[in-house]
Amino acid sequence: MKRFLILLMLLQLPGFIFAGDENGIVGKWGDHKGEAKVMIYKKGQHFFGKLYWLKDPYDKDGKVRKDEKNPEPEKRDRELEGLEILRNFSYNNGVWTGGKIYDPRSGKTYDCKLSLSQDGKLSIRGYLGFSFIGKTETMVRL
């Protein structure tokens, strides 16, 4: 009976390990093109992410790049570096959901979910309404 209980516990272990750690996304991440770096952090019970580095932080006129595509005119003067682009994610069984991603290139905000692959890459899935209609960006831990 004792061996059976130990075997049962060991069979449950891989699922537990695969589910991951709630704080597994916290840290610095780089996109696959080398154009941007994001720092993900936890504030209260939710996760957020800021752009903390851009390959091209200046526009064609040599001025610091701003959030000029933002639909709210009062926010168009914000610098892109330091801009919070990931907001209000909650951890749920290996996936971070319920959050939003802001795309400063278009000025649009999308529903979003985050997940870690088995090889440690971060998948960021932005979508409208249903997650199967969207785009996934993969980032690597720095």
CA of residue 92 relative to chain centroid, distance = 14
Higher pLDDT: 8 or 33? It is 33
Q: Once rounded to an integer, what is the mean pLDDT over residues 66-85?
A: 97
On whether residue 15 sits in a domain, the answer given is no
Which tens digit of pLDDT belongs to each residue from 54-67?
999 999 999 999 99
Nearest Cα to Cα of residue 122 among 54, 44, 49: 49
In a domain, 18, yes or no: no
| pLDDT number for residue 30 | 98
pLDDT digits (tens, 9 = 90+) for 11-56: 333 333 344 699 999 999 999 999 999 999 999 999 999 999 999 9
As a whole number, mean pLDDT of residues 86-114 equals: 97
Domain count along the chain? 1
Query: Cα 114 to chain center, whole Å?
Result: 5
Residue 12, domain member (yes or no) = no
How large a percentage of the chain has pLDDT more than 70?
Answer: 86
Residue 50 is part of which domain span?
Answer: 23-141
Whether residue 17 lies inside any domain: the answer is no
For the cut 80, the answer to whether the pLDDT of residue 142 exceeds it is yes
Q: Residue 132: its pLDDT value, please?
A: 83
pLDDT of residue 130: 80
Asked if pLDDT for residue 77 goes beyond 90, the answer is yes
Q: What is the 3-state secondary structure (H, E, C) of the chain?
A: CHHHHHHHHHHHHHHHHHHCCCCCCCEEEEECCCCEEEEEEEECCEEEEEEEEECCCECCCCCECECCCCCCHHHCCCECCCCEEEEEEEEECCEEEEEEEEECCCCEEEEEEEEECCCCCEEEEEECCCCCCEEEEEEEEC
CATH code of 67's domain: 2.40.128.520
Q: Is residue 13 part of a domain?
A: no
- Residue 128's alpha-carbon distances to 53, 114, 122, in angstroms, are 27, 15, 20
Q: Give the global pTM.
A: 0.83
> Does residue 16 sit within a domain?
no
- Is 56 among the domain residues? yes
Handedness of CA 106, 39, 132, 35 (dihedral sign): positive
pLDDT at 122: 98
Does any domain span residue 127?
Answer: yes
